[in-house]
């Protein structure tokens, strides 16, 4: 049977991602190394109250996705959610958000590449990390240069591996709990959840510090919005993918954490070790470390694959929204024959080559960690701008009252913005996050000063007012 040809957008990109692809990409964006590796740290600091942290943050991420989803439903032709920031908050704000998010994606990709090198060395310790990183980057860039459908198929199987690992953990934990299985730490039991149960077992500051950590574990959940511009039946898919976000968070994060703490008393969880490894080792699986290393490697490769996909689309979006359609912008705004913003992907991939270079010179690692922290903190700023753009959309002629509207908008929208703002402010009181938070402020100030000078230059440049669509004050 002949395969159905994908719908082609006006800009030449192809709508070749099916509902199956988008749903699994959404799951893959929700599950990352933050769960497989980072959960041990948050559990050891907050105990069972970590479930409350995941529930609260999960609710606000769901509300953010409903706001973005509402704009996507009204106009599913955009390639990135940042496009709505430019559309409703002005071109310069959109450029700030676009460059900020793109740079964050590049550094996120570099961090994932570095992690992949370390994970592969678990089996191949003699192979240089930089060579592993280079090979993986080339393979995934080439994959992204093929078709969006092949990207979707790869992400489908990456996500499937992560889901199987979580389901295996949950089933193992339930069986051990039902059988009241004996372990070196006692017995598997529901009662382990209630041992020394306090809201703030290690103080309020330890509980508060869990919010930024869990926030960054959820980072990437918005990747689904970047696939809609190349998805079949986008409005139908948006509803399913966004509405299932909260269910996925409850199932894959909260339920798995409950199972972990039923098997391993929370005070016995080692913060520097994957709780998944601890559970499988207690279940009598000697190869637990190798299996979870393979799963974490898959999670990192999935995050890198999605970041390359997203970075290429963001660079393309920045180019199409910039003034003029020639020179470098024209180069980036070109679509390949197979409907891919190839130049944006290649340029992004070339910058990611810094990761293998950094691996060759370990002394650069400290600076790289700081820059990665700054870029991660800037994601919060972009999320807030997306929510502010949604408020502008609500007051615009584009608003679709009968569309996919955000629930209880008049309450949930301002509360969500305030909550994300509070998360950003909390970074300044956390010693490990303070440098990144100050760096994010400096980055914002640099853009504000640059655009202020640019706006002043535009006002005094003859003929600028004659350029169609030019808004020197936006």
pLDDT tens-place string over residues 355-386: 888 777 755 556 666 766 787 788 899 999 99
Residue 385 has what pLDDT?
95
d(C-alpha 154, C-alpha 17), whole Å: 12
For 145, phi and psi rounded to 5 degrees? -85, -5
d(C-alpha 474, C-alpha 398), whole Å: 19
Residue 369 has what pLDDT?
67
Residue 312 has what pLDDT?
86
Compute the chain's Rg from CA coordinates.
23
371 with 107: CB under 8 angstroms?
yes
Which of the residues in the chain have pLDDT under 50?
Answer: 1-5, 463-474
Residue 1 has what pLDDT?
40
Superfamily of domain 15-455: Amino acid/polyamine transporter I (1.20.1740.10)
| Tokens describing residue 295 | 């799963």
Angle of the 91-120 helix axis to the 129-144 helix axis, nearest 10: 130
Provide the residue ranges of all domains of the chain, joining segments of one domain with +.
15-455
β-strand pairing of 7-8 with 182-183 = unpaired
Q: Which of 218, 318, 242 is nearest to 76 (CA)?
A: 242
| Tokens describing residue 264 | 């391993």
Residue 391 has what pLDDT?
97
Q: Which of 323, 328, 330 is nearest to 463 (CA)?
A: 323
Residue 14, phi-psi category: left (phi > 0), alpha (psi -120 to 50), beta (remainder): beta
- In a 3-state reduction of DSSP, which class is residue 355? helix
Percent share of the chain, pLDDT over 70: 85
Residue 459 has what pLDDT?
67
pLDDT tens-place string over residues 253-282: 888 899 999 998 888 888 877 888 888 888
d(C-alpha 203, C-alpha 207), whole Å: 7
């Amino acid at each position: 049977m002949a395969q159905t040809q994908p719908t082609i957008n006006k800009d030449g990109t192809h709508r070749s991602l099916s509902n199956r692809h988008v749903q699994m990409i959404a799951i893959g964006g929700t599950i990352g190394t933050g769960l497989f590796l980072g959960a041990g740290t948050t559990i050891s600091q907050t105990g069972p109250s970590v479930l409350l942290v995941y529930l609260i943050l999960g609710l606000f991420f769901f509300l953010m996705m409903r706001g973005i989803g509402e704009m996507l439903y009204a106009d599913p032709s955009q390639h990135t959610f940042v496009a709505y920031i430019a559309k409703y908050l002005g071109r310069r704000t959109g450029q700030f958000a676009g460059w900020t998010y793109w740079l964050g994606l590049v550094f996120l990709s570099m961090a994932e590449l570095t992690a992949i090198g370390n994970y592969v060395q678990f089996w191949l310790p003699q192979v240089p990390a930089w060579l592993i990183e280079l090979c993986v980057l080339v393979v995934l860039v080439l994959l992204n240069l093929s078709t969006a459908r092949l990207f979707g198929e790869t992400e489908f199987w990456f996500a499937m591996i992560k889901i199987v690992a979580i389901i295996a953990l949950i089933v193992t934990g339930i069986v051990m709990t039902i059988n009241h299985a004996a372990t070196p730490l006692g017995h598997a039991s529901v009662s382990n959840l209630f041992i020394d149960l306090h809201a703030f077992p290690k103080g309020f500051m330890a509980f508060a510090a869990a919010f930024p950590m869990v926030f960054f574990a959820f980072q990437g959940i918005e990747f689904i919005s970047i696939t809609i511009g190349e998805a079949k039946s986008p409005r139908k898919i948006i509803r399913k993918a966004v509405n299932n976000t909260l269910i996925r968070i409850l199932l894959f994060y909260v339920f798995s954490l409950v199972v972990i703490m039923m098997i391993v008393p929370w005070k016995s969880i080692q913060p520097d070790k994957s709780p998944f490894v601890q559970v499988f080792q207690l279940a009598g699986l000697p190869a637990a470390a190798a299996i979870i290393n393979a799963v974490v490697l898959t999670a990192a490769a999935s995050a890198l694959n999605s970041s390359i996909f997203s970075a290429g689309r963001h660079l393309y979006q920045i180019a199409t929204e910039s003034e003029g359609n020639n020179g470098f912008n024209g180069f980036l705004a070109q679509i390949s024959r197979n409907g891919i913003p190839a130049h944006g992907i290649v340029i992004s991939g070339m910058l990611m080559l810094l990761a293998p270079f950094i691996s060759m010179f370990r002394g650069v690692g400290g600076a790289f960690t700081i820059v990665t922290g700054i870029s991660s903190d800037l994601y919060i700023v972009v999320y807030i701008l997306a929510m502010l753009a949604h408020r502008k959309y609500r007051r615009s002629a584009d608003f679709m009252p009968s569309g996919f509207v955000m629930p209880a908008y008049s309450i949930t929208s301002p509360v969500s913005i305030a909550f994300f703002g509070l998360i950003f402010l909390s970074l300044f009181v956390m010693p490990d996050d303070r440098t990144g938070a100050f760096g994010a402020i400096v980055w914002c100030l640099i853009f504000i000063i640059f655009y202020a000078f640019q706006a002043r230059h535009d006002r005094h440049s003859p003929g600028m007012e004659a350029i169609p669509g030019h808004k020197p004050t936006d």
